[in-house]
Structure 1
Amino acid sequence: MKKAIITGASGFLGGWLLQELSARGVQTIAVLREEKSCEWVKTHTPGTQTLICPQEQIQTLPDLLPDCDADVLFHLAWEGSTGAERADTTLQLKNVQHTLDTAKAAASLGCRRFVGAGTLAELDCNSYIPLDGSSPNPVSCYGTAKITAHYMSKAVCGQLGIDHLWACISNTYGAGNKTQNFVNFAVQTMLSGKPANFTSGEQMYDFVHASDVAHALFCIGESGQKNHTYYIGSTKPDQLKRFIVKIRDAVDPSIPLHLGAVPFNGVSLPASVFDCSSLCRDTGYKPRVPFETGIREAVGWLRKQKEEGNF
């Protein structure tokens, strides 16, 4: 891979991927929504080319980048991936259309590969929503939209003759993550002095440091197999309760944990879901950040955010 395009380049994962590609000497074009994001990109990855093109106008990307000759387009842009906006059906359907428009733009630009950012929520939805009598939460609209974008973009790429690859991204944590994912929720709860109330934590979970996710995305774009979906994991999934203990120890080992104080009403995915052996086998991916190391860094960053009044 000599040249790549990233949509959503100023987002949490986009920033980590920019750093990964920059470190590997890949010439990168960061597609951004607003001018103010350009300064952030140029500060963190000097030499990166920036381009303002909101997702609503992504079909104009080939006109903005004549003679682009990029190898891979990484599509990370997605509005409403956290919080109440996950239940916004209008917004989520727009994301699906934007994904399809981006895949078409990648083909028009001459990219040989399109790498889409999927989510573990797709597997949650597939496991639960089709069951008779199931009562999905409104936020399941996000996972369902990702499934739709996944399958439809795969069809579009096949029609247009470019490789389609899909990354199933698990629970990602690390500095810069401002979402309310589990790690952030747990750490913020503990830092705020609230009771550390959780489910019993018997279900299997996996947490992957953002730098490892960025590394995996590069590996997928570089050498993933055409029309494959790759789960990006840590290679060390475990019961959630064991991760909760490690999170607590990184914040303050004296904090009492109340496992089982919150009822669990989700779906317990089998351990096989968290198997990323195909990613390792096909691309040479190897995670580099143990959870014990990464969580200390994440807690330090979140603690600083709290001290600065950012949450």
Structure 2
Amino acid sequence: MLRVLITGATGFIGSHIADSLVKSNYEVIALKRENSDCWRCEEINDKIKWINLDEEGQWKKVVIRYNPEVFIHSAWIGVEAHERDNIKTQIKNIDFLTDLLEIAKELKIRKFVNLGSQAEYGCIDGKVNESFNANPTTTYGSVKLASLEIFKTFCIQHNINWVWLRLFSFFGEKECRNWLIPALIQRMQESNEMDFTPGLQKYAYLYVKDLGEITNRMISQPIDSGIYNVSSNQAITLKVLIEKIRDKIAPTFKLNFGALSYRENQSMHIEGDSSKLINQLGEIQLTDFDQALNSTIEYYISNK
């Protein structure tokens, strides 16, 4: 049984990856804080070996004792909009990464998967592949990019198969309630109308459960070290997304498109080209968008 260490398992994306790992019968070892809220992992909580990060000087020894063969690093502090330019918060992520790299070196792990972000690219207006110039416009994106360079160099020096996933737009169950889709659903249940921009900006939304399947494949089969975009291949406008949610929840809800202006330097098309990933892993069968959106909506309605 493959032993996999995952960080960030109590978060939105990490919890779905952890769920997929458990369902694939991997031995899952996860790091968390004493005060971490594990509600996203309730269904798999007893199938995970948890390690308390707040036990200074001890958690690293426990990881080494469990001897994982693969690392998946999905933890990151400072993902909320108001924290993305807080340099003191963002830089702490590099300290944690270096701790993990030192452990990986000691254990001689065979593969290390790290989650990056489209924010490393900076302003995007179209479909981009991994050769697109990285020019981040936020501290969050800059620290992600710096982390990539540290991660890549260290792994090359110590012969670790390294994978950096540049994640684009995701949606699904168990998001934070203030994020777009759950916030829209709540608003549509509580009021009669809402103001929006024209909503013509396009995003390639990927269902978060599909990322779990992608990660599973990544650790179970060979993959070249490198950077890989992870994105849906079907971009839709924000207007269409909002209308789909409205039609499902409250068909009479009034959508005031054009009542608000776009923010300054608004990107109108953000999409990643995932061809490189598909060439490595083979064709990836993604969940039908409408089916995934309906499942997501039903989840938030049932879990107010």
Q: What is aligned with 1:120?
A: 118
Residue identity matched to 2:51: L
1:309 aligned residue: none
Q: Any gaps of 5 or more consecutive residues in structure 1? A: 307-311
Q: Distance in 1 between matches of 2:153 and 2:58?
A: 21
For 1:143-167, what per-residue CA distance to the aligned partner results, in whole angstroms no more than 9, with x for missing partners?
2222221222112222222122111
Tell me the residue number matched to 1:26: 26
Matched, 1:14 2:30: no
Mapped partners of 1:103, 1:267: distance in 2: 36
Per-residue CA shift, 1:122-158, capped at 9, x if unaligned? 2235889959xxxx5xxx2222222221222112222
Moved more, 121-130 or 154-163: 121-130
- Shift in Å, 1:65: 3.0
Change (3 A) 1:62 1:84: same
Q: Which residue of 1 aligns with 2:199?
A: 201
> TM-score, with normalisation over the residues of structure 1?
0.82
Aligned residue runs from structure 1 range 97-108, under 5 A: 97-108=95-106
Code of the aligned partner of 2:13: L
Q: 1:172 to 1:252 in 2, by over 3 A?
A: same
CA contact (8 A) 1:199 1:263 kept: yes
- With normalisation by structure 2, the TM-score equals 0.84
Tell which deviates more after alignment, 87-96 or 249-258. 249-258
Which position in structure 2 is the counterpart of 1:244? 242
1:91 offset after TM fit, Å?
0.6
When structure 1 is superposed on structure 2, of 159-168 and 234-243 the one drifting more is 234-243
The answer to whether the 8 A contact 2:64-2:103 is kept is no
Distance 1:275-1:36 versus aligned 2 partners, 3 A rule: closer
1:83-116 per-position Cα deviation (integer Å, ceiling 9, x unaligned): 4122321010111222232223222222111111
Give the letter for the 2:49 counterpart: Q
Q: Does the 8 A contact of 2:10 with 2:36 survive in 1?
A: no
Residue of structure 2 aligned with 1:161, choices 148, 159, 162: 159
Sort the Cα spacing of 1:100 and 1:250 in 2 relative to 1 into closer, same or farther, 3 A.
farther
Residue in structure 2 matched with residue 143 of structure 1 by the alignment? 141
2:201 matched to 1:218? no
| 1:260 to 1:100, Cα distance in 2 relative to 1, 3 A | farther
**Are the aligned partners of 2:73 and 2:114 in contact in 1 as well (CA < 8 Å)?**
yes
1:95 aligns with 2:93: yes
Distance 1:130 1:62 in 2: 34
8 Å contact from structure 1 (residues 174, 298) kept in 2: yes
Write the distance in 1 (CA, Å) between the matches of 2:95 and 2:123.
20
1:40 shift after superposition:
6.9
Aligned to 2:47: 47
Whether contact under 8 Å (1:125, 1:144) holds in the other structure is no
Matched, 1:188 2:186: yes
Task: Indicate how the Cα distance of structure 1 residues 188 and 231 shifts in structure 2: closer, same or farther if over 3 A, else same.
Answer: farther
Give the equivalent residue in structure 2 for 1:294: 292
Q: Which position in structure 1 is the counterpart of 2:62?
A: 64
CA distance 1:10–1:267, change in 2 (3 Å)? same
Q: Could you tell me whether the CA contact under 8 Å between 1:204 and 1:238 is conserved in 2?
A: yes
Distance 1:36 1:274 in 2: 32
Matched positions, count: 296
Contact 1:202 1:241 in 2 (8 A): yes
> What secondary structure is seen at the aligned counterpart in 1 of 2:47?
coil
CA distance in structure 1 between the aligned counterparts of 2:124 and 2:81, rounded to whole angstroms: 21
Q: Report what 2:77 is aligned to.
A: 79
Letter in 1 for 2:208: A
Change (3 A) 1:107 1:247: farther
Q: Report which stretch shifted further, 75-84 or 292-301.
A: 292-301
Amino acid at match of 2:167: I
How far did residue 211 of structure 1 move?
Answer: 0.8
2:121 and 2:134 in contact (8 A); partners too: no
Tell me how far 1:52 sits from its aligned partner: 1.1
Q: 1:3/1:189 Cα in 2 relative to 1: closer, same or farther (>3 Å)?
A: same
Q: Distance in 2 between matches of 1:165 and 1:224?
A: 11
Q: Which runs of 5+ in 2 are unaligned?
A: 126-132
Match of 1:278, SS?
helix
CA RMSD of aligned residues (A): 3.0
CA distance in 1, matches of 2:139, 2:69: 32
| 1:234 partnered with 2:225 | no
CA distance in 1, matches of 2:53, 2:257: 46
Deviation at 1:4, TM superposition (A): 0.6
- Residue 177 (structure 1) shift: 0.9
Higher helix share: 1
Identify the residue that residue 128 of structure 2 maps to in structure 1: none
